[in-house]
Amino acid sequence: MTDNTQTRSETLREQIEEMIAVGTLKPGQHLDETVLAERFGVSRTPIREALIQLASMGIVVIRPRRGAIVAEIGPQQLIEMFEVMAELEAMCARLAARRMSPVEHAVLMATHLACKQARDDADSDAYFYKNEEFHQQIYIGSKNTFLEEQARALQRRLRPYRRLQLRVRNRVTASFEEHGAVVDAIIEGKGDLAAELLRQHIMIQGQRFSDLVASLSALASEA
């Protein structure tokens, strides 16, 4: 594969991944290589390479002789993945509270405040992107490259579901307030508190899980 083909397939992977994250392509939906090639104005070869890359990330499932579909995550697996995500982020927060510099504290605060406009506008989709940047600053702040990579990988797999969560009534406002408490704990160097706050921020259980399942059902009915 030439460098140009590889670059093109990586760009396509990012574009298809974004379509999945924002719900344009839904869980379980068939991914027709010809349709995607026409959509992006390319041949099927870079599309196929992009789908293989997405399959290696768990975002797409390639079925022999039946083509690719957007990966579906069942309710039980979703709970388990969010449990792991919560622990990974808690570890990041604990380490960030110990290791982030004052300059990095300022960047984290600025990223948090950048979420405010989306919250004030009640724009859950805009908040989704700002929210990702906020969490990624904490991953970086852990100063543990392996942990950062694992957190980013799982965050990417859960992107469509984290986005759906934010569409639940009042979730954006609650999320922003929870972020504020996490920022304070990190800046004050309170690692255990930061870890517990971020763990609870990520965990889905009880009403939050019911709301997410209802959102998934509504999404399926639109397909």
* 75-222 is classed CATH 1.10.3720.10: no
Exposure string of 99-129, with b = 16+ CB inside 10 Å and e = fewer, is ebeeebbeebbebbeebeebbeeeebebbbe
From CA 7, how far away is CA 10, in angstroms rounded?
5
| Spans in the chain with pLDDT lower than 70 | 1-6, 205-206, 216-223
Query: For domain 3-70, which CATH number applies: 1.10.10.10, 3.40.50.720, 3.40.50.300, 3.30.450.20?
Result: 1.10.10.10
pLDDT at 206 (0 to 100): 66
pLDDT at 41 (0 to 100): 92
Domain parsing of the chain, residue ranges: 3-70, 75-222
Q: How far is CA 42 from CA 35, 36, 46, 47, 59, in A?
A: 10, 8, 7, 8, 22
